[in-house]
Structure 1
Amino acid sequence: MVGSIWLLRLPNLTCRSYHRSTPTLSSMSKAACLATPDEVTSGVKRKAENPPYDIDVKKIKQGRKELRPGFGEDKFDETEYYFEHGLRKVYPYNFTYTTFCKGRWVGHLLLDVFSREFRALSKDAYKRALESGKVTVNSTVVGPDYRLKDNDLLANSIHRHEVPVIGAPIKVIHKCDDLLVIDKPPSIPVHPCGRYRHNSVLFILAKEHDLKSLHTIHRLDRLTSGLLMFGRSLDKARAMESQIKGRQVQKEYLCRVEGNFPDEPITCSEPIEVISHKIGVCGVGKYGKECCTEFRKLSYNGKSSVVLCKPQTGRMHQIRVHLQYLGFPIVNDPLYNDTVFGLGKAKGGLTEKTKEQLIEDMLKAHSIDKWLGPESDFLPDVCGATDSCSNSVKEVHEEETASKSDTDAPSSETSHFPASLRHYIETDKLFNAALENQRYNQQKYVSDEDCSECKRPYKDPRPEDLLLYLHCLRYKGKDWEYETTWPAWAREDWTVD
């Protein structure tokens, strides 16, 4: 099914609005939900005077309002899930991204904009994509030398492949008429963004639990697990969010950090600033926003410590950045426990290199496909973008299906997972029994001969790419309190790091 085209985005709603607004599945347009951090709008309503293309903006507005609340059932039916190797996967599907020309793009060549803004592919690869007609401007195929104008509407039709996430159930802790509380598994983003859409908490809850029109109250990073609350009514969501913003809610997180954390409680009040909005990296800096985190060691196993964290504020990556500053980064943090910050890993602040050098080094050292910043939703599909086009996703599945024995046990699919991940997958027998009806079905996998993703070598994410030793344990308000179970890696006798 080809995804329908949405042409407008709501101002001030992006995937990075952590505390300034309450974006919801019911109030966001598709485009707004898929916005990337560098797509923050000015909040001013855009008007297209004498648009050079045949689009009835009023009808689009009316159509969008008719779909509220929710995305519309057709969006949830775009594709289906299947489970293998301990992962939740999505059959590829057709989709169209759209975006208006941003102010900084005006007057620049289309090819130059793609090469500069989206670094995933080479300039030659983008040129081939633009020449293929996959990208249109104002519903018209244009060449790479097209010079962008204000209010230009760019559309990119692709065969969309989503990134696999852990094949674990979403545990419901509390559900009533106006509130939903869940225990989020690691690796699953809260809302659609980047290369995650159906593999997001909001879509999974809608498709598997029939829980739709949810309003986000707070956020967790994709790799972070734990307690997550949604309002089932807008009034409840606003009331809960108001308590959080007013610092009337006690928040507790668990983490496992490198080394022997000090025995005495520590409070870190260093201000945190965004080093790069584009790639989503923060650090302690004198021009940052005020924030405060309390830390207390719970246990030490000879190599690493379990620490209870109580953030008093809600800055982006606050716990991770403060632990990095103190010299006790989270054991498996792929972003802040890295010598790309310098040999000292930014203990005491970023002192070994400039911000500009850090950003440049990060782009060289890490793949944005893995974790570095929310990748853009507006990347053209490029056939032949990689050097090797063997062992496609479909070919790998065909080979596995032919060689798989009827006696293969489902548990063997997670035997390569560490206990910290199996803990999420193997504890729900009813869920695992239901998975038998959602194994890979070759007939449901429809490839596209023009899709570069279909031709690329297929590789599952590594188990270590699915988990961060950071868990939201408890939220407590004036007359309410919700808590999750402890993750396996937080046990006092845990020895596998």
Structure 2
Amino acid sequence: MERMVHTILENQKGDRIDKAVSTLNEEWSRTQVQQWIKDGNVLVNGKQVKSNYKCAENDVIEITIPEPEELDAIPEEMDLDIYYEDGDVLVVNKPKGMVVHPAPGHLTGTLVNGLMHHCKDLSGINGVLRPGIVHRIDKDTSGLLMVAKNDMAHESLVNQLVEKSVTRKYKAIVHGNIPHDYGTVDAPLGRDPKDRQSMTVVDNGKHAVTHFQVIERLGNFTFVECQLETGRTHQIRVHMKYIGYPLAGDPKYGPKKTLELGGQALHAGVLGFKHPRTGEYHEFEAPLPAYFDKLIEELRHNH
């Protein structure tokens, strides 16, 4: 079990303990933290408290993070679109609508289930639920993902992500007509205090930078390429909304009246990294999925 100690700062005094703890890590949901408090895994100044305890400045919070539940991921035969594979890494083009790894409620049909059937050797750094997964893309985002087949490769690829040396370019269609050809959004991201399932721009969030350039203007929509400098949860979706150009089809961050696409028009088209063993740079490009091409043609026609 992992332990963590946090001292309440002045800007957190008066916050409920469940809120204060859940903001320490974007992977922790408030519901999950409330269960930890109930189970005695969160102590304030060495004592158990309830979820509605109001924090005081300099309170010392001790958090014991329980081991994740082991939900066995079952290998499943799938027709995976593999772009590259050797003994260390694999690059796969994930279709729209596929979840990357199992989670409660999504134990089968995920990319991890398919990868486990395809190859028996995947890194174990992320535990049984996420073997080999170095980075994720959202369920309704299509495109390229790198997968580690051993722990050496996993550590190398994660370090490249931390050092921001991985090339990740996405194609997107956004609402609105962006007047300038290039732009950079540099705005910190964290959980939305009003909706823990969503991300938003917050002062104390994690550093996040997205560069974009316009490919084509399509009337009330713009076709853009976004390049990630950092890789925060929902980064492109939140950053483009923040500057007033939310993604078409996005049910979470888009406007109420958006295109019926079954999810955001976002495709991870270019992925480049140094091979963990040889150090040689590899770059891959996946074409736009058919629905995306069709949408561009329709918007051009309407325009």
TM range, smaller chain: 0.5 to 0.7
Secondary structure, counterpart of 1:226 in structure 2: strand
1:250-288 deviation digits (Å, cap 9, x = unpaired) = 210111111212242011112222114974211112222
Q: Residue type matched to 2:168 in 1?
A: K
Contact 1:186/1:468 (8 A) holds in 2: no
Q: Residue type matched to 1:191 in 2?
A: H
Partner Cα distance (2:217, 2:156) in 1: 39
Partner Cα distance (1:211, 1:172) in 2: 15
Show the 5 A alignment for 1:11-410: 11=2, 37-38=29-30, 102-104=36-38, 169-207=79-117, 209-211=118-120, 213=122, 214-276=131-193, 279-338=196-255
Q: Which residue of 2 aligns with 1:426?
A: none
- Given candidates 289, 295, 298, the residue that maps to 1:487 is 289
Partner Cα distance (1:36, 1:313) in 2: 20
Higher helix fraction: Structure 1 or Structure 2? 1
Q: Residue type matched to 2:214 in 1?
A: K
Matched, 1:475 2:278: no
How far apart are 1:11 and its partner, in Å? 4.7
Say which is worse superposed, 324-333 or 216-225, in terms of deviation: 216-225
Taking only the aligned residue pairs, the percentage that are identical comes to 26
Partner Cα distance (2:186, 2:119) in 1: 42
How far apart are 1:495 and its partner, in Å? 1.0
1:383-427 deviation digits (Å, cap 9, x = unpaired) = xxxxxxxxxxxxxxxxxxxxxxxxxxxxxxxxxxx9xxxxxxxxx
Contact 1:255/1:309 (8 A) holds in 2: yes
Q: TM-score, normalised by structure 2?
A: 0.66
Q: Structure 1 residues 11, 489: CA separation in 2 closer, same or farther (over 3 Å shift)?
A: farther
Contact 1:190/1:200 (8 A) holds in 2: yes
Higher strand fraction: Structure 1 or Structure 2? 2
Contact 1:301/1:495 (8 A) holds in 2: no
Contact 2:165/2:273 (8 A) holds in 1: yes
Partner Cα distance (2:194, 2:103) in 1: 15
How far apart are 1:338 and its partner, in Å? 3.6
Structure 1, gaps ≥5 residues long: 1-9, 13-34, 42-100, 107-115, 117-149, 156-167, 346-417, 419-462
Secondary structure, counterpart of 1:485 in structure 2: coil
How far apart are 1:289 and its partner, in Å? 2.0
Q: Residue type matched to 1:251 in 2?
A: R
Q: With CA pairs under 8 Å and 6+ residues apart, which has the higher RCO, 1 or 2? A: 1
Q: Residue type matched to 1:201 in 2?
A: L
Contact 1:185/1:225 (8 A) holds in 2: yes
Q: Residue type matched to 1:102 in 2?
A: W
Contact 1:267/1:294 (8 A) holds in 2: yes
Partner Cα distance (2:171, 2:272) in 1: 15
Structure 2, gaps ≥5 residues long: 4-26, 41-50, 52-63, 70-77, 123-130, 275-280
Q: TM-score, normalised by structure 1?
A: 0.42
Partner Cα distance (2:95, 2:170) in 1: 14
Partner Cα distance (1:201, 1:243) in 2: 22
Give the greater-gyration-radius structure (CA): 1
Q: Structure 1 residues 306, 210: CA separation in 2 closer, same or farther (over 3 Å shift)?
A: same
Q: Aligned-residue CA RMSD in angstroms? A: 3.7
Partner Cα distance (1:307, 1:475) in 2: 17
Task: Name the count of aligned residue pairs.
Answer: 233
Q: Residue type matched to 1:468 in 2?
A: Q
How far apart are 1:490 and its partner, in Å? 4.3
Q: Structure 1 residues 38, 278: CA separation in 2 closer, same or farther (over 3 Å shift)?
A: farther
Partner Cα distance (1:174, 1:487) in 2: 19
Contact 1:254/1:490 (8 A) holds in 2: no
